[in-house]
C-alpha cells in the first residue's frame, strides 16, 4: 500500500479506484510503481481533476459535494450582476468614450459631449466635500476626544446613524425644502452641493470616529506626559495616527455621492453649460448621474448610447476613487502599529 | 540648600476611581538620583501611584484624590500648579513601546518643540544627546528619517526613553518598561536604567521581583492599595519586614 502514496503524478481518482478494487491479497502483488510518471497532458489532467472533484463514495461526501455546488452557484449569482453591468455598459457605451466626449459641451439636440456633467460633478463634490468633510471630521474629533461618554454622545451617534440610513430621495426633498426654499438659496451649485454634503456627513463622521478609536490610548498619553496640551495631542498625534482611516472614509463617501442622483433632482437644477456664477440660474449645474437619468428617459436612440457612455465613465471614476481609498488604507495600516 | 529633602514626596495619598478606592493613605519619599522600584501583584495600584505623580490620572473622568504630592516642595495638585510644566519635569515611559507615527527624529523633537525650542541646530543637538543617553544613537543615526514604528520593539522602547529625556526632566517614571520585550532587549534597557540614575530620579513599576532586586536601590511593596513596605532594596531582599512582602518575593502571592 505504501507505494501508492508515491504516485503523486496521477489524479487521486486513479488511486482511489486502485484502492477500492484491491483486496488485501492483490495489494501485495501490485508491481512497484515507477518513480518517473509519464507526463499527463493538460486536457487529461483537467479531466482527472474534475473527476476527482466529483468522485463520491458515501452519502456524507455526496452531501458535502452538493452543498459545495450550492455555495458556488450562490457566489456566481452574487457577483454576476456586477459583470453583466460592466459588460452591458461596455458593449453599448464604450464606442462613445472618446476624448471629445469629455471635452465638448452638448450642442443642439443634445449632440456633443458631457463636459457640463463632468465639470458639474467635480464642482458639486468640491462644494459637498468642502462643507461636509471639515464639519464631520471636527464633529467626530469632538465626540471622540472631548465629550464624555454618556447620553449626548449616544444621541449624536444615533442621529448620525439614522441620517446615514435616510433614503437619498428624502435627503433631496429636504434639501429642496430647507436649502432651496427656506434658506432662499435657490436651485444650483450651492444647494446641490449642500444637499450632497448632508449625505456625506454621517458616513465621514462615523468612519472618522472609528479611525480615532483605533488610535491606542497610550499614544495620547505619551504626548500628554511630555507636557502637550489636549489640542496639540489631538492635532499632532491622534489625528495624524488616524489620518489614513479618515482619508479612506472621505474617499469612499466622495465615491458614493458622485453617483447620487436623487439629492440633486430638486436642488442642483440642470444645465447644458458650465456654471458661471454661484447664485441664481447661472449656477444651475449638470452632473453625471443626473445626465444619465435625463438621457435614459429620452426616447432618442443616440441619447441612449450617450447615457451608457456616461454611465461607463461614472463607473470608472467611482471605481478609481475606491481603488485609491483601498490603497491608502492598506498602505498606511501597515505603517502603523 | 533647597527647602525640600527629596524631589518627590508623597503624603497620605488616597485615590479613587468612582466609588472604588485604589490607593489607601500612602506616604513615601523617593530618593534623588536613585532607582525606586514599586512592586506588587496586579491590580494593587502600582500604575495608579505612578500616574498620580505626573497627573496622568486626571484625564480619566471619575478620578479623585486626597493627600499631597510634592515635586521639589511644591504641591503638584495645588492651585498654583501648572500641569504642562509639571509633566515636562516628570518624564514617563510606558509598558508598551508607543512611538508616535512619525520619523525617529520627529519623535525626539516632539517634546522640545512643545516647550518652545524652535532653533533647528538646537533641536538636532537634542536629538543626538537624547538618543545617545538612551543608548540608541549608534543604531539609528543612519535612519533618523525612517518611520519610528519600523524599529524593533526594544529599539522602540529606547526611542521612547529618548523621547522622555528630550525635555530634560529631573524625574523619570517607568511603567513596567521591559515587560513586553524579549530578554535581550530587556537586559539592555535594565542596564540603561542603572546608567541613567546618575542624572535622573527614576521610579519604576514592576511586577518582576528579580528585576526590582537587580535594578533598584529602593523598593516599595504595594498590596491592595496599601504601602506595605518601603525601604532599601537590599534590606527588603534579605529580610522582608512584613509577611505579605515575603510571600510576594518568594512567589507565594502575585
pLDDT-based confidence at A336, cuts 50/70/90? low
Which residues on chain A are in Cβ contact (under 8 Å) with B53? none
Reply yes or no on domain B8-101+175-249 having CATH 1.10.3720.10: no
pLDDT tens, residue by residue, B35-55:
999 998 888 889 999 999 999
Q: Give the global pTM.
A: 0.78
Beta bridge partners of A15: none
Q: Summarize the confidence of residues B114-132 as an average pLDDT.
A: 92
Q: Which of A156-170, A266-280, B218-232 has the lowest mean pLDDT?
A: A266-280
For residue B253, is pLDDT > 80? no
The torsion defined by the Cα of A3, A7, A13 and A16, in degrees rounded to 10, comes to 10
In eight-state DSSP terms, residue B17 is: E
pLDDT at B50: 92
Query: Complex ipTM, two decimals?
Result: 0.90
Shortest Cα–Cα distance, A257 to chain B (Å): 31
- How much of chain A exceeds pLDDT 70, in percent? 86
pLDDT at A186: 85
Cβ–Cβ contact B100 with A under 8 A = yes
Q: Which residue has the higher pLDDT, A271 or B111?
A: B111
Q: Summarize the confidence of residues A101-112 as an average pLDDT.
A: 82
Beta bridge partners of B10: B28, B69
pLDDT at A33: 52
Which of B98, B115, B160 shows the shortest C-beta gap to A227?
B115
The Cα–Cα gap between B107 and B131 comes to: 11
pLDDT at A320: 92
The Cα–Cα gap between B76 and A234 comes to: 24
Cβ–Cβ contact B56 with A under 8 A = yes
For residue B191, is pLDDT > 80? yes
Q: Summarize the confidence of residues A288-302 as an average pLDDT.
A: 90
- How much of chain A exceeds pLDDT 90, in percent? 39
Across the interface, do B92 and A222 touch by the CB < 8 Å criterion? yes
| Residues present in chain A in total | 337
Residue B221, phi then psi, degrees to nearest 5: -115, 120
Sequence-ordered strand ranges (E) for chain B: 8-17, 20-30, 35-39, 63-71, 74-75, 90-93, 171-175, 201-205, 218-223, 226-232
For residue A11, is pLDDT > 90? no
For residue A58, is pLDDT > 80? yes
For residue B1, is pLDDT > 70? no
Q: Summarize the confidence of residues A87-115 as an average pLDDT.
A: 84
pLDDT at A16: 44
The Cα–Cα gap between A22 and A246 comes to: 65
Across the interface, do A221 and B59 touch by the CB < 8 Å criterion? yes
Which residues on chain A are in Cβ contact (under 8 Å) with B90? 225
- How much of chain B exceeds pLDDT 70, in percent? 98
DSSP A191-243: HHHHHHHHHHHHHHHHHHHHHHHHS-HHHHHHHHHTT--HHHIIIIIIHHHHH
pLDDT at A221: 93
CA angle, corner A226, sides to A223 and A229, nearest 5? 65
Which residues in A have their CB inside 8 Å of a CB on B? 148, 216, 218-219, 221-229, 232, 236-237, 240-241, 335-337
For residue A24, is pLDDT > 70? no
| Residues present in chain B in total | 254
Shortest Cα–Cα distance, B89 to chain A (Å): 9
Average pLDDT, chain B: 90
pLDDT tens, residue by residue, A145-186:
888 888 888 888 898 889 888 999 999 999 999 998 999 888
The Cα–Cα gap between A134 and B150 comes to: 31
What's the grid cell of residue A229?
Answer: 496640551
Q: Summarize the confidence of residues A226-253 as an average pLDDT.
A: 91
pLDDT at A4: 41
pLDDT at B22: 92
For residue A64, is pLDDT > 70? yes
pLDDT at A12: 43
For residue A21, is pLDDT > 90? no
Contact A334, A328 (CB under 8 A): no
pLDDT at B165: 93
pLDDT at A32: 52
pLDDT at B251: 83
- Note the helical H segments in chain A: 12-21, 24-29, 42-54, 59-93, 99-103, 115-141, 151-165, 168-175, 189-214, 217-225, 230-232, 239-258, 262-265, 288-296, 301-335
pLDDT tens, residue by residue, A28-48:
444 555 556 666 677 888 888
Q: Which of A111, A59, A127, A108 is nearest to A287 (CA)?
A: A127
Residue of B51, B114, B156, B168 to mutate when probing chain A, most A C-beta within 10 A: B114
Amino acid at each position: 500500500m505504501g507505494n501508492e502514496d508515491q504516485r503523486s503524478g496521477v489524479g487521486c481518482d486513479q488511486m482511489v479506484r486502485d484502492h477500492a478494487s484491491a483486496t488485501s491479497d492483490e495489494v501485495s502483488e501490485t508491481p512497484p510503481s515507477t518513480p518517473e510518471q509519464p507526463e499527463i497532458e493538460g486536457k487529461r489532467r483537467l479531466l482527472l481533476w474534475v473527476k476527482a472533484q466529483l468522485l463520491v463514495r458515501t452519502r456524507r461526501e455526496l452531501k458535502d459535494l452538493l452543498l459545495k455546488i450550492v455555495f458556488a452557484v450562490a457566489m456566481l449569482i452574487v457577483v454576476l450582476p456586477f459583470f453583466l453591468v460592466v459588460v452591458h455598459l461596455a458593449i453599448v457605451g464604450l464606442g462613445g468614450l472618446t476624448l471629445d466626449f469629455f471635452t465638448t459641451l452638448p450642442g443642439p439636440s443634445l449632440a456633443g459631449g458631457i463636459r457640463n456633467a463632468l465639470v458639474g460633478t467635480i464642482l458639486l463634490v468640491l462644494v459637498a466635500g468642502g462643507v461636509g468633510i471639515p464639519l464631520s471630521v471636527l464633529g467626530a474629533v469632538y465626540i471622540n476626544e472631548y465629550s464624555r461618554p454618556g447620553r449626548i454622545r449616544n444621541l449624536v451617534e444615533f442621529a448620525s446613524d439614522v441620517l446615514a440610513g435616510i433614503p437619498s430621495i428624502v435627503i433631496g426633498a429636504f434639501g429642496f425644502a430647507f436649502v432651496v426654499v427656506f434658506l432662499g438659496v435657490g436651485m444650483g451649485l450651492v444647494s446641490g452641493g449642500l444637499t450632497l454634503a448632508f449625505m456625506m456627513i454621517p458616513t465621514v463622521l462615523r468612519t472618522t470616529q472609528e479611525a480615532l478609536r483605533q488610535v491606542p490610548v497610550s499614544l495620547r498619553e505619551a504626548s500628554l506626559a511630555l507636557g502637550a496640551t489636549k489640542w496639540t495631542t489631538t492635532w499632532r498625534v491622534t489625528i495624524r495616527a488616524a489620518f489614513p482611516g479618515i482619508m479612506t472614509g472621505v474617499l469612499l463617501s466622495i465615491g458614493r455621492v458622485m453617483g447620487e442622483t436623487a439629492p440633486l433632482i430638486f436642488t442642483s437644477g440642470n444645465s447644458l453649460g458650465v456654471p458661471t456664477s454661484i447664485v441664481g440660474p447661472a449656477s444651475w449645474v449638470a452632473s453625471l448621474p443626473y445626465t444619465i437619468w435625463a438621457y435614459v428617459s429620452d426616447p432618442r436612440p443616440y441619447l441612449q448610447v450617450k447615457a451608457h457612455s456616461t454611465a461607463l465613465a461614472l463607473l470608472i471614476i467611482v471605481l478609481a476613487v475606491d481603488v485609491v481609498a483601498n490603497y491608502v488604507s492598506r498602505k498606511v495600516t501597515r505603517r502603523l502599529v | 540648600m533647597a527647602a525640600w529633602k527629596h524631589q518627590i514626596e508623597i503624603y497620605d495619598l488616597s485615590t479613587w476611581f468612582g466609588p472604588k478606592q485604589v490607593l489607601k493613605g500612602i506616604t513615601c519619599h523617593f530618593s534623588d538620583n536613585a532607582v525606586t522600584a514599586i512592586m506588587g501583584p496586579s491590580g494593587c495600584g502600582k500604575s495608579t501611584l505612578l500616574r498620580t505623580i505626573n497627573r496622568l490620572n486626571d484625564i480619566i473622568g471619575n478620578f479623585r484624590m486626597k493627600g499631597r504630592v510634592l515635586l521639589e516642595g511644591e504641591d503638584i495638585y495645588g492651585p498654583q500648579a501648572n500641569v504642562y510644566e509639571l509633566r515636562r519635569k516628570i518624564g514617563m515611559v510606558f509598558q508598551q513601546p508607543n512611538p508616535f507615527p512619525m520619523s525617529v527624529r520627529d519623535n525626539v523633537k516632539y517634546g522640545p518643540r512643545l516647550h518652545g525650542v524652535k532653533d533647528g541646530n538646537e533641536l538636532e543637538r537634542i536629538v543626538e544627546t537624547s538618543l545617545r543617553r538612551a543608548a540608541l544613537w549608534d543604531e539609528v543615526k543612519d535612519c533618523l528619517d525612517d518611520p519610528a514604528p519600523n524599529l524593533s520593539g526594544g529599539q522602540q522602547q529606547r526611542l521612547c526613553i529618548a523621547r522622555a529625556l528630550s525635555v530634560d526632566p529631573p524625574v523619570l517614571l517607568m511603567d513596567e518598561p521591559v515587560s513586553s520585550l524579549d530578554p535581550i532587549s530587556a537586559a539592555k534597557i535594565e542596564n540603561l536604567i542603572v546608567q541613567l540614575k546618575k542624572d535622573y530620579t527614576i521610579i519604576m513599576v514592576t511586577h518582576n521581583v528579580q528585576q526590582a532586586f537587580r535594578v533598584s536601590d529602593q523598593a516599595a511593596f504595594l498590596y491592595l492599595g496599601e504601602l506595605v513596605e518601603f525601604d532599601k532594596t537590599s534590606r527588603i531582599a534579605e529580610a522582608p519586614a512584613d509577611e505579605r512582602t515575603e510571600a510576594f518575593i518568594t512567589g507565594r502571592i502575585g
